[in-house]
């Protein structure tokens, strides 16, 4: 069976280009400059050679203006509180998601990479980076005390993952409180320009993100600018070296992510069919234009012939063609000059005596295409075995023993990544620590995530991107003589906030009319359920007035809720990232109804409008905190007295009962359930007995926030009686109780039968204060640790 073409539509993106008359200026201080005809360069579609756009060539004056705008924006951006900055980062992530296909199509047209990759890898990872760093922004003060942002950061990025490299750079820089001047690569500036437009659309404060387009001269002007505090660069080792020299002694911070010649080591006991697919991902992903591409195939002698035969067979079946065709494996090389460089290196390989093999099919006649290429009989010292080709060219060599494999793998000045293939875990884990590279993938390749640091050893550069350590690259310690930035009123709130106003106004004005009879129910298994008892309880407001009624839950309701929570076990298997997205989404939907929730709190508790609003805002921030933690509450690697390590993994406890306090009926509930949800538990909640309406309002927020059925179950009613039922229940794995001393005592006694973990409190906490209302204490109690011991190494 053969595939027909399946082109992705590009009409919207072409219309967007035409809407700009195919001409773009820089984005400085929140506005686009007017492009000037004789100070611009052309951008082409690498798959056809067609002209896509004219883009401004940044001059020293443009860089000056961008740096000045970034400097001017810095004080207000740095002084925002953590939550406000997190909201901006989140707004960026959301914006990317909303326009994901636009970005994907534009990236494919501009860079030549297949739409399958931009759609399924590049753009989702871009959004992931911004939402992951929204999390770090939220946790910044708590997790990085005594540190602050560099200031104005200059960032220069390459063309191989244009928008993803932007995200790797911009997300941590902004999250840490820096402002940015970024230069995209001259071959691929279009998604960065669309990104700048998105920043304008969401209303990011002017000057926080600035974009200056241009070639290496513009990059050098940013690097040399005296008012830039740190440079972050990804690109060739040669330019990286030049930047090291240019910034030496300037006091500027510097991180460099440079080239690689990564080994892909295959032992004879490896699963060769998996290896073949691994090679496809290692060297033909993005046409091999990947800094960590597995470009050196090192195979144990006994299986070399067999693997090469399988590989050739697979190469024969790879498809190359229009990047917008959803069925192609490979698209175009970014530019004719890069294609020429790849061809020249291949010719050199042949001259030096290696055997070149390419599939029998022809590459498209027009555009910059290069077939997948395999070299065998390669000497370890040959140019093609040493130099980064940055194209779809694999060089293979053989080895006999593991020691020889390590020696060959390390026979390069680079040290970015490595991949090891063996069905023998002992062997794989013996080899991994001996490889000189920043990343080692075992039986896998080219895996990336915002939560895991990426970066190289030796000539592959220094500094890490992603993870906690990646954020650390954009922070430096506060010197004692420096004043700490004072918090300012978060006047520059994301525009996403504005949407809440109308709904809230309506809620306030209609509250003067006779209430519609809307009886809140219990919330079990994702559905609103009437209480089994058939009774309702009155909820009295501050002045003794009836403000509502809720179901009077009983033992049967608790049993149903526990059953539903067990059925929701899929929650524990979601990734931290997925859980974090949902927690952010709950916060977003609560924020849209902020005034309504505040009005409800005032009506129940008599709290002033200001205090009630504060409670709702703290609840939103708290949800953000745990959205932030969901993909960061990592386990640890312990240095145990053994040749090897012990991996301490955090596991959710399972189904946790939660009984909530009366003070702060909304914030108390959120503060207790959010850490449990972030860590993968499911909950059965008994909300405040006296003020339960915030909880019953809250389930309608959960219903609109993609929370799977059974993850949160709410049973209103007599708190202590219901908590005791939960404590006695064999299928409840832990119980958190905040209430009275008598209630706590009863719960602890009842839990003795099955020795479930309990956490009880009766003194009351100042939930508004993040130092006591959130953080590691809650996370620690929400998980159990499993240690996995892995012997390896010498
Ligand atoms: P390059 O290193 O010249 O370009 C990367 C970025 O640096 C671009 O934005 C460019 O405009 C800018 N730049 C160039 N000269 C500069 C200077 N003196 N100061 C500041 N910025 C400067 O890479 P190029 O020429 O596009 O590709 C050449 C080779 O570099 C590739 O064949 C590949 O081997 C390697 N490369 C490696 C990358 C990686 O991710 N490790 C990415 C791109 C290229």
**Hey, what domains does the chain have and what are their CATH numbers?**
10-258+471-477 (3.40.605.10), 263-453 (3.40.309.10), 554-632+652-783 (3.40.605.10)
333: pLDDT strictly greater than 50: yes
Average pLDDT estimate for 529-533: 92
Side-by-side strand order, sheet with 522-524: 527-529, 522-524, 712-714, 682-686, 655-659, 734-738, 757-761
782: pLDDT strictly greater than 50: yes
Q: What are phi and psi of 785, to 5 degrees?
A: -100, 130
pLDDT by residue (tens digit) across 336-385?
A: 999 999 999 999 999 999 999 999 999 999 999 999 999 999 999 999 99
Q: Enter the tokens of residue 230.
A: 């740190």
Average pLDDT estimate for 307-312: 98
- The pLDDT value recorded for residue 5 is 78
Average pLDDT estimate for 439-450: 91
Q: Is the CB of 81 under 6 A from ligand 1?
A: no
Distance CA 390, CA 259 (A): 9
Q: Which residue has the tokens 């669309």?
A: 194
- The pLDDT value recorded for residue 498 is 33
Task: Give the distance (Å) from ligand 1 centre to CA of residue 158.
Answer: 6
Residues forming a β-bridge with 139: none
Q: Is the CB of 162 under 6 A from ligand 1?
A: no
Q: Is the CB of 160 under 6 A from ligand 1?
A: yes
pTM for this structure? 0.88
What are the distances in angstroms from CA 693 to CA 507, 514, 600, 716? 15, 18, 8, 9
Among 58, 158, 292, name the best residue to mutate to test ligand 1's pocket (greatest count of ligand atoms within 8 A of Cβ): 158
**Dihedral sign of CA atoms 49, 54, 60, 66 in order:** negative
Q: Is the CB of 165 under 6 A from ligand 1?
A: no
Q: Nearest 10 degrees: CA dihedral of 651, 656, 661, 664? A: 50
DSSP annotation of 38: G
Among 186, 187, 232, 236, name the best residue to mutate to test ligand 1's pocket (greatest count of ligand atoms within 8 A of Cβ): 236
Q: Is the CB of 733 under 6 A from ligand 1?
A: no
Q: Is the CB of 229 under 6 A from ligand 1?
A: no
Average pLDDT estimate for 691-699: 96
Atom 43 of ligand 1, nearest CA residue: 235
Long-range contact pairs involving 440-446 (C-beta distance under 8 Å, separation at least 24): 441/417, 443/270, 443/271, 443/274, 443/278, 444/278, 444/419, 445/264, 445/278, 445/281, 445/282, 445/294, 445/419, 446/281, 446/282, 446/285, 446/290, 446/292, 446/293, 446/294
Average pLDDT estimate for 535-556: 90
**By the 8 A CB rule, do 56 and 35 touch?**
yes
Q: Is the CB of 235 under 6 A from ligand 1?
A: yes
SS3 255: strand
Please report how many Cα atoms fall inside a 13 Å half-sphere around the Cα of residue 549, on the Cβ side.
14
Q: Enter the tokens of residue 225.
A: 């600018």
Task: Give the distance (Å) from ligand 1 centre to CA of residue 446.
Answer: 21
Task: Please report, rounded to a whole number, the percentage of residues in the chain having pLDDT higher than 90.
Answer: 82
Atom 27 of ligand 1, nearest CA residue: 236
Residue 758's H or E segment, with its range, is strand 757-761
What are the distances in angstroms from CA 743 to CA 670, 676, 748? 21, 21, 9
pLDDT by residue (tens digit) across 145-185?
A: 999 999 999 999 999 999 999 999 999 999 999 999 999 99
499: pLDDT strictly greater than 80: no
Q: Enter the tokens of residue 448.
A: 């990336």
pLDDT by residue (tens digit) across 402-412?
A: 999 999 999 99
Give residue 762's Cα distance to chain centre: 38
Q: How many residues does the chain have?
A: 794
Atom 25 of ligand 1, nearest CA residue: 236
Q: Is the CB of 390 under 6 A from ligand 1?
A: yes
**By the 8 A CB rule, do 160 and 609 touch?**
no
- The pLDDT value recorded for residue 392 is 98
pLDDT by residue (tens digit) across 455-495?
A: 888 888 888 899 998 999 999 988 654 554 443 333 344 43
Please identify, by atom number, the ligand 1 atom nearest to the C-alpha of residue 184. Answer: 9
**Dihedral sign of CA atoms 244, 245, 246, 248 in order:** positive
- The pLDDT value recorded for residue 479 is 66
Q: Is the CB of 455 under 6 A from ligand 1?
A: no
Atom 19 of ligand 1, nearest CA residue: 220
Nearest to 348 by CA among 308, 309, 386: 386
Please identify, by atom number, the ligand 1 atom nearest to the C-alpha of residue 389. Answer: 34
Please identify, by atom number, the ligand 1 atom nearest to the C-alpha of residue 214. Answer: 11
Atom 16 of ligand 1, nearest CA residue: 216
Residues forming a β-bridge with 27: 32, 211
**By the 8 A CB rule, do 184 and 98 touch?**
no
87: pLDDT strictly greater than 80: yes
Please identify, by atom number, the ligand 1 atom nearest to the C-alpha of residue 240. Answer: 2
Atom 35 of ligand 1, nearest CA residue: 236
Average pLDDT estimate for 211-239: 97
Task: Give the distance (Å) from ligand 1 centre to CA of residue 186.
Answer: 10
| CA-based R_g, the chain, Å | 29
Q: Enter the tokens of residue 366.
A: 């027009």
88: pLDDT strictly greater than 80: yes
Task: Give the distance (Å) from ligand 1 centre to CA of residue 397.
Answer: 28
Q: Is the CB of 291 under 6 A from ligand 1?
A: yes
Max avg pLDDT among 186-195, 238-247, 494-503: 186-195
Q: Is the CB of 242 under 6 A from ligand 1?
A: yes
Which has more confidence, 481 or 325? 325
Confidence of residue 1 (pLDDT cuts 50, 70, 90): low
- The pLDDT value recorded for residue 794 is 65
Task: Give the distance (Å) from ligand 1 centre to CA of residue 330.
Answer: 22
Q: Is the CB of 259 under 6 A from ligand 1?
A: yes
Among 190, 239, 244, 260, name the best residue to mutate to test ligand 1's pocket (greatest count of ligand atoms within 8 A of Cβ): 239
Distance CA 449, CA 561 (A): 35
577: pLDDT strictly greater than 70: yes
In this structure, the strands spanning 253-257 and 230-234 are parallel
Distance CA 666, CA 27 (A): 42
Q: Is the CB of 164 under 6 A from ligand 1?
A: no
Task: Give the distance (Å) from ligand 1 centre to CA of residue 596.
Answer: 53
- The pLDDT value recorded for residue 787 is 85
What are the distances in angstroms from CA 8 to CA 328, 588, 789? 12, 32, 48
Task: Give the distance (Å) from ligand 1 centre to CA of residue 65.
Answer: 24
Task: Give the distance (Å) from ligand 1 centre to CA of residue 239.
Answer: 6
Q: Is the CB of 451 under 6 A from ligand 1?
A: no
Distance CA 525, CA 630 (A): 22
Q: Which ranges of 648-692 does DSSP label H, i.e. alpha helix?
A: 665-678
Please identify, by atom number, the ligand 1 atom nearest to the C-alpha of residue 187. Answer: 26
Distance CA 368, CA 377 (A): 27
Distance CA 112, CA 334 (A): 6
Residues forming a β-bridge with 294: 262
pLDDT by residue (tens digit) across 501-520?
A: 333 333 333 344 444 445 78
Which has more confidence, 267 or 754? 267
**By the 8 A CB rule, do 263 and 408 touch?**
yes
Task: Give the distance (Å) from ligand 1 centre to CA of residue 493.
Answer: 37
Strands (DSSP E) along 621-711, which ranges?
636-638, 644-652, 655-659, 682-686
Catalogue the active-site residues: 257
Long-range contact pairs involving 51-55 (C-beta distance under 8 Å, separation at least 24): 51/22, 52/17, 52/22, 52/109, 52/110, 52/190, 53/17, 53/20, 53/22, 53/23, 53/24, 53/190, 54/22, 54/23, 54/24, 55/23, 55/24, 55/186, 55/189, 55/190, 55/193, 55/213
Task: Give the distance (Å) from ligand 1 centre to CA of residue 26.
Answer: 20
Work out the burial of residue 146: count CB atoms within 10 Å of its CB; fewer than 13 is exposed, 13-18 middle, 19 or more buried. Answer: exposed
Confidence of residue 606 (pLDDT cuts 50, 70, 90): very high
Residue 564's H or E segment, with its range, is helix 555-567
Average pLDDT estimate for 389-413: 97
- The pLDDT value recorded for residue 494 is 40
DSSP annotation of 416: S
Task: Give the distance (Å) from ligand 1 centre to CA of residue 383.
Answer: 20
pLDDT by residue (tens digit) across 614-627?
A: 999 999 999 999 99
Distance CA 347, CA 341 (A): 10
Q: Is the CB of 599 under 6 A from ligand 1?
A: no
Q: Is the CB of 158 under 6 A from ligand 1?
A: yes
């Amino acid at each position: 069976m053969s595939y027909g073409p399946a082109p992705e539509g590009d009409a919207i993106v072409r219309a967007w280009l035409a809407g700009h008359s195919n001409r773009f200026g820089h984005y400085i201080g929140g506005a686009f400059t007017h492009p000037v005809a004789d100070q611009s360069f052309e951008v082409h579609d690498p798959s056809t050679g067609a002209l896509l756009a004219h883009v401004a060539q940044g001059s020293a004056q443009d860089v000056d203006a961008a740096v000045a705008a970034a400097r001017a924006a810095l004080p207000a951006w740095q002084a925002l509180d953590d939550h406000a900055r997190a909201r901006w980062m989140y707004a960026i992530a959301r914006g990317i998601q909303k326009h994901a296909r636009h970005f994907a199509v534009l990236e494919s047209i501009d860079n030549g990479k297949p739409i399958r990759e931009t759609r399924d890898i590049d753009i989702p990872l871009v959004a992931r980076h911004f939402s992951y760093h929204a999390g770090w922004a939220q946790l910044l003060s708590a997790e990085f005390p005594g540190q602050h942002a560099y200031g104005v950061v200059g960032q220069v990025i390459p063309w191989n993952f244009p928008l993803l490299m932007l995200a790797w750079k911009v997300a941590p820089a902004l999250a840490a409180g820096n402002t940015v001047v970024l230069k995209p690569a001259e071959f691929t500036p279009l998604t960065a320009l669309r990104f700048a437009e998105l920043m304008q659309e969401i209303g990011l404060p002017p000057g926080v993100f600035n974009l200056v387009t241009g070639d290496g001269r513009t990059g050098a002007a940013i690097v040399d600018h005296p008012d830039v505090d740190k440079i972050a660069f990804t690109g060739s080792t040669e330019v990286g070296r030049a930047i090291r020299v240019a910034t030496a002694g300037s006091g500027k911070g510097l991180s460099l992510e440079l080239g690689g010649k990564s080994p892909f080591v295959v032992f004879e006991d490896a699963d060769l069919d998996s290896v073949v697919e691994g090679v496809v991902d290692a060297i033909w992903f993005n046409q091999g234009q990947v800094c960590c591409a597995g470009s050196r195939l090192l195979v144990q002698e006994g299986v070399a012939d067999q693997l090469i035969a399988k590989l050739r067979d697979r190469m024969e079946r790879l498809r190359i063609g229009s990047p917008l065709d959803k069925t192609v494996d490979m698209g175009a090389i970014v530019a004719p000059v890069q294609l020429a460089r790849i061809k020249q290196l291949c010719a050199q390989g042949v001259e030096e005596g290696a055997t070149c093999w390419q599939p029998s099919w022809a590459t498209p006649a027009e555009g910059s295409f290069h077939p997948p290429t395999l070299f065998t009989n390669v000497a370890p010292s040959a140019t093609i075995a040493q130099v980064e080709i940055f194209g779809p060219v694999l060089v293979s060599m053989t080895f006999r023993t593991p020691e020889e494999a390590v020696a060959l793998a390390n026979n390069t000045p680079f040290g970015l990544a490595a991949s090891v293939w063996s069905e023998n875990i002992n062997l794989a884990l013996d080899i991994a620590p001996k490889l000189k590279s920043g990343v080692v993938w075992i039986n896998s390749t080219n895996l990336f995530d915002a939560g895991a640091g990426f970066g190289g050893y030796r000539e592959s550069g220094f500094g890490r991107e992603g993870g906690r350590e990646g954020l650390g690259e954009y922070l430096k310690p506060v010197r004692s003589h420096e004043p700490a930035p004072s918090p300012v009123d978060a006047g520059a709130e994301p525009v996403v906030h504005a949407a809440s106003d109308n709904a809230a106004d309506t809620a306030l004005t209609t509250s003067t009319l006779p209430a519609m009879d809307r009886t809140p129910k219990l919330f079990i298994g994702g559905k609103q359920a009437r209480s089994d008892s058939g009774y309702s309880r009155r909820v009295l407001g501050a002045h003794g007035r009836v403000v509502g009624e809720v179901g009077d839950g009983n033992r049967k309701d608790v049993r149903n809720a526990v059953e539903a929570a067990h059925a929701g076990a899929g929650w524990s298997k979601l990734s931290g990232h997925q859980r974090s997205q949902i927690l952010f989404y709950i916060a977003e939907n609560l924020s849209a109804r902020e005034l309504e929730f505040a009005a409800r709190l005032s009506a129940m508790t008599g709290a002033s409008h200001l205090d009630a609003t504060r409670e709702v805002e703290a609840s939103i921030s708290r949800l953000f905190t745990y959205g932030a933690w969901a993909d960061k509450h990592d386990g640890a690697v312990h240095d145990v007295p053994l040749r090897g390590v012990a991996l301490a993994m955090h596991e959710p406890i399972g189904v946790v009962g939660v009984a909530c306090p009366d003070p702060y009926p909304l914030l108390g509930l959120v503060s207790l359930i959010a850490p449990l949800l972030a860590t993968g538990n499911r909950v059965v909640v008994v909300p405040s007995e006296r003020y339960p309406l915030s909880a019953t309002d809250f389930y309608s927020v959960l219903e609109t926030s993609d929370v799977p059925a059974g993850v949160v179950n709410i049973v209103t009613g007599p708190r202590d009686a219901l908590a005791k039922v939960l404590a006695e229940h064999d299928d409840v794995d832990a119980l958190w109780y905040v209430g009275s001393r008598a209630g706590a005592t009863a719960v602890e006694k009842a839990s003795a039968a099955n020795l479930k973990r309990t956490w009880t409190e009766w003194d009351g906490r100042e939930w508004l204060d993040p130092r006591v209302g959130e953080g590691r204490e809650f996370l620690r109690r929400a998980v159990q640790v499993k240690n996995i011991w892995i012997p390896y190494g010498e």
